[in-house]
Chain A
Amino acid sequence: MWLDPANPQLNKNGELHHLLSLEGLPPGVLRQILDTAESFVGVTQREVKKVPLLRGKAVFNLFFEPSTRTRTTFEIAAKRLSADVINLAINVSSQSKGESVLDTVANLAAMQADMFIVRHAASGAPYMIAKHVAPDIHVVNAGDGRHAHPTQGLLDMYTIRHYKGDFTKLRVAIVGDILHSRVARSQIHALTTLGCPEIRVIGPKTLLPSHVNRLGVQVYADMRQGLKDVDVVMMLRLQNERMKGALLPSAQEFYKYYGLTEDKLALAKPDAIVLHPGPMNRGVEIDSSVADGRQSVILPQVTFGIAIRMAVMSILAGGQR
């Protein structure tokens, strides 16, 4: 096996072959992705927003779970690298005919796929695909269950570095539904690897994983205490289906205690920035005046997300075997 058995996204030379999770990626690899993305930001500001790196390569967007923004930004990124992009929403085609995930992937590989961008509701699905594809095919996890959403974590790191610079001087708060969030997990791993000394997670006890302090974060149930003097506020999306169970009384109640309002944000540093992975529930986890306010970097996050995905795809496609 030429992939590192302990971390099957790296080859034996420590280079990225698949991107499955930010957990276990060395700081050098994370910085390489962020630095490469910086060069791609320049490309997206030109008259011709394309480079020929992935010319002749076929990138398949395999979305077993619906998504608009992530799928679209992957599609734009692949097209700006001159790849051919094929979008497949699997829940409405072969899966409903009973074809297994691996059969679907094997069929697409037979169509000369070079890269699979995978989103799946089951944690670990991209790992299973990565394990079974031919060695010249690359897999990018675009969100699997509650596990990981590495490109979102990377674009968040890019955004923080763009506005705040050095991670080793930052106090960062992650707010909301930590328990169900693959975004939060990816953020915590990346922040830790890049040397962020203080990561706080803020949320109701019912939405915090029981082992969360094992990730090296500080836990706050009181948002006003948790936001005090932070440099970065990373809001999470509250998924509506969580309201139906016993985890939360109501959206109004959540907004009262954990919604980011101007008066709560005033407790953070005056130059603190606000991030959100989208799509936002205005009036549930974030107030409109904050979402559209001067400290919000939510739309730049989307723009940087394209450059990050271009960087990931070009580093994977150019990797040595």
Chain B
Amino acid sequence: MPANPLPDAEQLLASLTDRMRPAVGPDTGLVGIHTGGVWLAERLHRALGIQLPLGTLDVSFYRDDFNKKGLRRNVKSSDIPFDIDGCNVVIVDDVLYTGRTIRAAMNELFDYGRPASIRLATLVDRGGRELPISADFTGAEVSAGANESIELARDAQGRLSLQLTGN
């Protein structure tokens, strides 16, 4: 098996945590995007000692490719267990690519209320943006081919790793 060309996800998460630490306050709310973003958000929530409970989003109902691709199976429930109004939200996702998922996530968040601010934390940024969206906190920038997909995986012990699929 060839060596994984992608950086170690656990190390990236540690540096992402350090970068986010100065920006966290009592009204910071973390919202993870299913599924990889939720795994990261759970770890960040614990490591940063966030006081507001963790929020999760499944953006399937807001995706702009519904008319092309339909509804994905196994849509999860979105759950924002705190008051979004006036809150400083940090959206957490595993891979930032076209920016369309983040656009959908912001649209959904505004259906819960009016946050004071929204920032974006992502483990890796692979470029290729199609919308004017950028991350505020990033673990690392990586490059991958247009036909390749980078996905976060979690093993039985809860260890995170990055996987490259396709060619």
Contact = CB atoms under 8 A, between A and B. Distances in A.
B131 interface: no
Interface string A40-61: 1111001110111100000000
Nearest to B77: A42
Contacts of A41: 77
Q: Report the contact-size class of chain A (Cβ under 8 Å from the partner).
A: 20 to 34
Nearest to A40: B61
Contacts of A318: 66-67, 69-71
B82 to A, nearest CB: 13
Given A39-B61, A47-B112, A51-B61, A319 B75 contact: no
B76 to A, nearest CB: 7
Interface of B: 58, 60-62, 66-67, 69-71, 73-79, 107-108, 110-113
Contacts of B69: 318, 320
A48 B62 CA distance: 13
A-B pairs, top 3 by smallest CB distance, nearest first, are A318-B70, A48-B111, A51-B61
Contacts of A4: none
A315 B66 CA distance: 10
A214 B49 CA distance: 61
Nearest to A49: B111
Contact of B74 (A35, A46, A319): A35
A295 interface: no
Contacts of B58: 39
Contacts of B60: 39
A65 interface: no
B73 A32 contact: yes
B122 to A, nearest CB: 24
Interface in A262-321: 314-315, 317-320
B78 A42 contact: yes
Given A43-B61, A317-B66, 9 more contacts: A35-B75, A36-B75, A39-B60, A39-B76, A42-B77, A47-B111, A48-B111, A50-B111, A52-B107
B102 to A, nearest CB: 16
Contacts of B76: 39
A40 B58 CA distance: 11
B101 to A, nearest CB: 15
B62 A51 contact: yes
A23 interface: no
Given A52-B61, A52-B107, A53-B61, A42 B70 contact: no
Contacts of A47: 111-113
B107 to A, nearest CB: 7
Interface in A212-263: none
